[in-house]
């Protein structure tokens, strides 16, 4: 009996080790087997992207699918982390929200046929104000925007096209004039209520607005076919691998999480071959300079948020720019 137990234990350890090697020790172009199914939509590019060394897996399918998100969560270790870095204790919330979506595709077939995609991630920074980068931004294969950074009225500054827009309940547009039916919008879930909020809006239920740090949108301007849910693996990669956040914060400090901007760049690293940035700089030396390219907020309103580490993010941006992993469209 004891012998059996030891044998079973040893083979379990061996299996775990083999799985571990397959998962984590492959280079960026080695692909874990289960991943193939979901990757078929990403057109491979023969040359390595400049930022390949930053990533465990390049060409990672970034959106959760109702059918297999649990399986992939255990494959990628996302079942060992809570939101926003994994699905542990929130799998039910994910399941509910995903069950109301119509697709987990990355690109449509036409777009998919473009290999080696060139992407631009458009931040909402005031540096975009009075620049005429709109046409340049529109020339990319993939244009990633975030939160409620508007296009309407700012076409010359930031362009007209949007491939992806990342959002969360407190940052999403509620005026339908901002919906571009050609864009895919991506829920970045930070807490279980974000998923519950999406599910409630998609089922026409009553929104419970407790548990939000700011009043969330009470209506959804997007159609179910446009909506995806970001795999928390992307947010975890941003926090632990790119920003090097500690896994445990001191008891007297609130845990910090990456901003949507850094999450958007991390997403771009996983689906693009070239990544360019615009609107990511803040001018801390001039408190009267505009905070965003829209509205009237100035840098003086840039709150020292306990939730983000702006210093770590600015250092990261400086580093990836100096290493030519990304190109900044606005030099200075």
Ligand X SMILES: *[C@@H]1O[C@H](CO)[C@@H](O)[C@H](O)[C@H]1NC(C)=O
Which residues, listed in sequence order, are joined to residue 230 by a DSSP beta bridge? 63
Nearest to 77 by CA among 56, 98, 58, 96: 56
Taking the complex as a whole, the smallest distance from the CB of residue 112 to ligand X amounts, in Å, to 14
Contacts of 36 (CB under 8 A, 6+ apart): none
Cis omega before residue 210 (within 30°)?
A: no
Number of residues that bind ligand X (CB under 6 A): 21
Contacts of 294 (CB under 8 A, 6+ apart): 124, 149, 150, 153, 154
Residue 114 has a CB neighbour count (10 Å cut-off) of: 14
- Contact characters 301-330, ligand X, x per CB under 6 A: xxx-----x-xx--x---------------
Taking the complex as a whole, the smallest distance from the CB of residue 131 to ligand X amounts, in Å, to 9
Tokens of residue 226, six digits: 């446009």
Q: Between 79 and 180, name the residue whose CB sits nearer to ligand X.
A: 180
Taking the complex as a whole, the smallest distance from the CB of residue 96 to ligand X amounts, in Å, to 30
Q: Is 109 in the site for ligand X (CB under 6 A)?
A: no
Task: Return the range that interacts with ligand X (CB under 6 A); candidates 79-87, 133-141, 259-267, 299-307.
Answer: 299-307
Tokens of residue 49, six digits: 């992207």
- Contact characters 264-293, ligand X, x per CB under 6 A: -------------------x-xx--xxx--
Taking the complex as a whole, the smallest distance from the CB of residue 127 to ligand X amounts, in Å, to 7
* Cα 307 to Cα 196: distance, rounded to the nearest angstrom: 21
Taking the complex as a whole, the smallest distance from the CB of residue 266 to ligand X amounts, in Å, to 16
Among 153, 297, 300, 319, binds ligand X (CB under 6 A): 297
Nearest residue to ligand X by CB is 286
Task: Give the DSSP letter string of 250-312.
Answer: -TTS------HHHHHHHHHHHH-SEEEEES----TT-TTSBSBSSSS-BGGG----SS--HHH
- Backbone Cα Rg of the chain: 20
Among 224, 295, 307, 318, binds ligand X (CB under 6 A): 295
Site residues (CB under 6 A) for ligand X, limited to 154-213: 180, 182
Tokens of residue 118, six digits: 């060139």
Taking the complex as a whole, the smallest distance from the CB of residue 143 to ligand X amounts, in Å, to 11
Nearest to 317 by CA among 286, 275, 273, 287: 275
Q: Between 322 and 332, name the residue whose CB sits nearer to ligand X.
A: 332
Taking the complex as a whole, the smallest distance from the CB of residue 62 to ligand X amounts, in Å, to 22
Taking the complex as a whole, the smallest distance from the CB of residue 64 to ligand X amounts, in Å, to 25
Per CB under 6 A, residues contacting ligand X are 129-130, 180, 182, 283, 285-286, 289-291, 295-297, 301-303, 309, 311-312, 315, 332
């Amino acid at each position: 009996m004891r012998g059996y137990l030891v044998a079973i234990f040893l083979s379990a350890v061996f299996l775990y080790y083999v799985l571990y090697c397959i998962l984590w020790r492959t280079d960026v172009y080695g692909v874990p087997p289960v991943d193939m199914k979901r990757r078929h939509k990403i057109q491979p590019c023969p040359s390595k992207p400049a930022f390949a060394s930053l990533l465990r897996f390049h060409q990672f399918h970034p959106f959760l699918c109702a059918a297999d998100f649990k399986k992939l969560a255990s494959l990628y270790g996302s079942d060992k982390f809570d939101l926003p870095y994994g699905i542990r204790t929130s799998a039910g919330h994910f399941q509910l929200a995903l069950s109301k979506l119509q697709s987990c595709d990355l690109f449509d077939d036409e777009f998919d046929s473009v290999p080696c995609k060139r992407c631009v991630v458009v931040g909402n920074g005031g540096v975009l104000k009075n620049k005429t980068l709109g046409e340049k931004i529109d020339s990319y294969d993939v244009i990633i925007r975030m939160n409620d950074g508007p296009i309407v009225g700012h076409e010359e500054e930031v362009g007209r096209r949007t491939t992806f827009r990342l959002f969360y309940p407190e940052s999403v547009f509620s005026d339908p004039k901002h919906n571009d039916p050609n864009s895919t919008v991506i829920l970045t879930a930070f807490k279980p209520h974000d998923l519950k909020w999406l599910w409630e809006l998609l089922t026409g239920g009553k929104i419970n607005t407790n548990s939000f740090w700011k009043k969330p949108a009470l209506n959804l301007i997007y159609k179910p076919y446009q909506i995806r849910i970001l795999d928390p693996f992307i947010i975890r990669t941003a926090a632990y691998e790119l920003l090097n956040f500690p896994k445990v914060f001191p008891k007297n400090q609130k845990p910090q999480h990456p901003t949507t901007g850094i999450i958007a760049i991390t997403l771009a690293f996983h689906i693009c071959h070239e990544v360019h940035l615009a609107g990511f700089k803040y001018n801390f030396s001039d408190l009267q300079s505009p905070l965003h390219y829209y509205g009237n907020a100035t840098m003086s309103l840039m709150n020292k948020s306990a939730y983000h580490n702006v210093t770590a993010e600015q250092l990261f941006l400086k580093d990836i720019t100096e290493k030519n992993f990304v190109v900044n469209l606005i030099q200075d």
